[in-house]
Amino acid sequence: MQSKYIPCILFLLILLFFCGTSDKPYTIDYKDGVKYVHNHAPLWGDTLKVALEFVQKIGDLETLDENFQLFNPSDVVRDNEGNVFILDSGNFRVQKYNRNGEFMKSLGRKGPGPGEFGGALYDMNLGVNNDLYIFDIMRELIHIFSTEGKYVNQVRLSGSGLGYRVFSSGELIFQNPIPVGLPKMPLDKHILSVLDPEKETAKGFGNKFRIFSNTNEADAANVLMNRVVFDIDNENIIFSAYTCLNVIEKYSSDLTLELRFDRPLNFKVNENPKNGRETTDVSMSLTCDSKGRIWISTANTVLDMGYNNWDSKYFNLEIFNQDGVLLGSIPQPDLGKIRIYGDMLYIIDTGIEMCVYEYKIVEK
């Protein structure tokens, strides 16, 4: 008599097994046609599948060699031959080093002429033909140099905020400036834009999250709450993270919002600040690797105002896949902006050690 229950019992056991193993450390929902991924824990669990292996440090505060005396370095790129280019913003130049960190040459200088830099430099990228694209904030343009140091051209980028990238097509994606001193932030102004340098046409995308009243303190909150860090992957997919919100977005190459995702934090984000001091720093830098993963420098505690009080121990490097799933998190070894080229992670220390750290990404 009991034998007829055996198949039912086995079925229930199999069902329970698969239900138990199908539990995921994230949940998914949809809102207004957009997919949302809410991460609750790393998919890798406690077993990290990547590690960082220190390679070298370029730049030294104590050196007497002016070729290694960096002043407010703000970005780094690496070409196909392994040469490293550091945007030495405070010295108005680009320093070129070989893969072993040996100095090769300087590019550019301060001045008002073609290929000469203004008062502040910020981002640098490899663009079409592997040329260097250098963003000159004060002159509101991008200087284009060959990696051998020859001046090629320039692109006017008036009205741009901090941050830009170059698509494989030669189009530029940049962050729009956030106006200050207005009764309301204009709703028709997007966070990001794509510029076609040849047609001189731009298309905006990305939504603002909050509108604040017209006060000096609220203006500071406007700027911080609607600032993002972003990057594009090898397929021209765009990922951006709001610096003061637990929100990360994925846009297709045609600028369609495909995905929003978040992750668990050790603190509560203030989503309704009354002024700039009440905002909560969350995402400080973002970069994509060659395996389609997204790395974000994420705060692990509430930070005091002012970079002088910050340390790398207050940040983790969180790693996501292209579907917005949190894979894992590792301590950030040094403080600064992050960039990845191939299997190398670079950390740009702009204001403390004024150097660039190079780490090899080791897959486990």
Determine which of 150-159, 184-193, 285-294 has the lowest per-residue pLDDT on average.
Answer: 184-193
CA distance 20 to 97: 53
Identify the CATH assignment for 74-167 out of 1.20.1050.10, 3.40.30.10, 3.30.390.50, 2.120.10.30: 2.120.10.30
Check whether 217 has a pLDDT greater than 60.
yes
Give the integer Cα–Cα distance in Å for 89 and 67. 14
pTM: 0.89
Closest alpha carbon to 48 in 294, 289, 318: 318
Instruction: Give the start-to-end residue ranges of the domains of the chain.
Output: 25-58+179-364, 74-167
Are the C-beta atoms of residues 132 and 77 closer than 8 Å to each other? yes
- End-to-end CA distance of the chain: give it in Å, rounded: 53
Average pLDDT for residues 133-145, to the nearest whole number? 88
Cα 71 to Cα 59: distance, rounded to the nearest angstrom: 9
Residue burial 38-74, b: 16+ Cβ < 10 Å; e: rest: bbeebbbeeeeebebeebebbbeeeeeeebbbbebbb
pLDDT (tens digit, 9 = 90+) per residue, 80-134? 999 999 999 999 999 999 999 999 999 999 998 888 898 788 899 998 888 999 9
Nearest residue to 238 (alpha-carbon basis) of 228, 246, 224, 225 = 228
Give the pairing of strands 257-262 and 34-39.
parallel
